[in-house]
Amino acid sequence: MTTFANQSVHDSAYTCLMAANVEQKMLLTNALSEQFQQRDFLIEAEPTAHSIPKPGRPERPVLVSPRDLSKRSIHDEEGRAALIHSIAHIEFNAINLALDVVYRFRGQPRSFYADWLLVAQEEAYHFSLVAGHLNKLGYAYGDFSGHNGLWEMAIETDYDVLVRMALVPRVMEARGLDVTPGIITKFEQVGDEAMVEILGIIQRDEVGHVEIGTRWYRYFCEQRGLSPLETFKQLIEKHMHGGIRGPYDHVRRKQAGFTADELEYLEQAGS
């Protein structure tokens, strides 16, 4: 197993983040998360992180505009594989997003890095489950196109940890809480019980990931004397240029820490 000897947690996360080989990224991410739980890593105070236009990723999938993605009809084998591939691509990007939090934002409590390394490890597990199921259908990660929207939001929010917490876990990833039940229903309709089970695992863990984002978002708001609700509104208006969309899964969002006032705002903004 790779040992991250004499490296800060940030440099270690960077090593994982920039790994282009999928299997290597999985192994490194798991190793770092486990080792961080077992021993002390240096946590740097100075904000020396640089912007990363492109994290480590394989040459394929080819990245295209969302409107140019492969058709994803659940009712034929290739369309079902394309839908599964899109889920794998989201999970792969989510690994990089969590690792970038650890690399980028210095001087935070140790528990902050423990949380986000756990998220990275769980996203790697999700990717392995989805990619493995895709393999059983005769396809592989990279066989279909993907888009870069999640990483583009990482770049847009790389200037402030509070902004990252507000917009990536609480907007981009929280969207998965809303849409996953409908996707599960689609796979139930075509009898893909293995994918239904995988999506159930992802759904359960993603509630926890969004809750981690919510908890740290509120922590940073409290540090700065800011209203979480008003700041959330301002950041959505500033950064979510295409608007936000419902419907929203109120039950799971509340489990993930959203307040009634936040949900009311989202319903009004997305109507």
Q: Using 50, 70 and 90 to split pLDDT, how confident is the model at 257?
A: very high
Strand-pairing partners, residue 146, are 63
pLDDT at residue number 136: 96
**Farthest CA pair distance, the chain:** 53
Q: What whole-number distance in Å separates Cα of residue 86 and Cα of residue 91?
A: 9
3-state secondary structure 161-184: HHHHHHHHHHHHHHHHHHHHHHHH
Q: Using 50, 70 and 90 to split pLDDT, how confident is the model at 39?
A: confident
pLDDT at residue number 26: 96
> Helix or strand or coil: residue 258?
coil
Q: Using 50, 70 and 90 to split pLDDT, how confident is the model at 242?
A: low
- Say if CB 168 and CB 153 are below 8 A apart: yes
Nearest-CA neighbor of 146 among 69, 84, 94, 56?
69
* Chain centroid to CA 247: 20
pLDDT at residue number 18: 96
DSSP character for 46? S
Q: What whole-number distance in Å separates Cα of residue 225 and Cα of residue 222?
A: 5
Looking at the predicted structure, is the pLDDT value of residue 3 above 80?
A: no
- Say if CB 19 and CB 28 are below 8 A apart: yes
The domain ranges of the chain are: 9-42+58-269
Strand-pairing partners, residue 63, are 146
Q: Using 50, 70 and 90 to split pLDDT, how confident is the model at 255?
A: very high
pLDDT at residue number 240: 86
186-231 pLDDT, tens digit per residue, is: 999 999 999 999 999 999 999 999 999 999 999 999 999 999 999 9
* pTM, full prediction: 0.94
Q: Name the residue with tokens 């490296």.
A: 7
- Section 81-93 average pLDDT: 95
Burial 17-54 (b: 16+ CB within 10 A, else e): bbbeebeebbbbbbbbbebbeeeebebeeeeebeebee
94-117 pLDDT, tens digit per residue, is: 999 999 999 999 999 999 999 999
The CATH class given to the 9-42+58-269 domain equals mainly alpha
DSSP character for 68? G
- Section 258-271 average pLDDT: 89
Looking at the predicted structure, is the pLDDT value of residue 140 above 70?
A: yes
Q: How many residues does the chain have?
A: 271
pLDDT at residue number 6: 75
For the purposes of burial, counting CB atoms within 10 Å of the CB of 159, is it exposed (0-12), middle (13-18) or buried (19 or more)?
Answer: exposed
Half-sphere exposure of 83 (CA within 13 A, CB side): 20
143-176 pLDDT, tens digit per residue, is: 998 888 889 999 999 999 999 999 999 999 999 9
Looking at the predicted structure, is the pLDDT value of residue 256 above 80?
A: yes
46-82 pLDDT, tens digit per residue, is: 877 888 989 999 999 988 777 766 666 788 889 999 9
pLDDT at residue number 109: 96
pLDDT at residue number 69: 66
- Say if CB 168 and CB 157 are below 8 A apart: yes
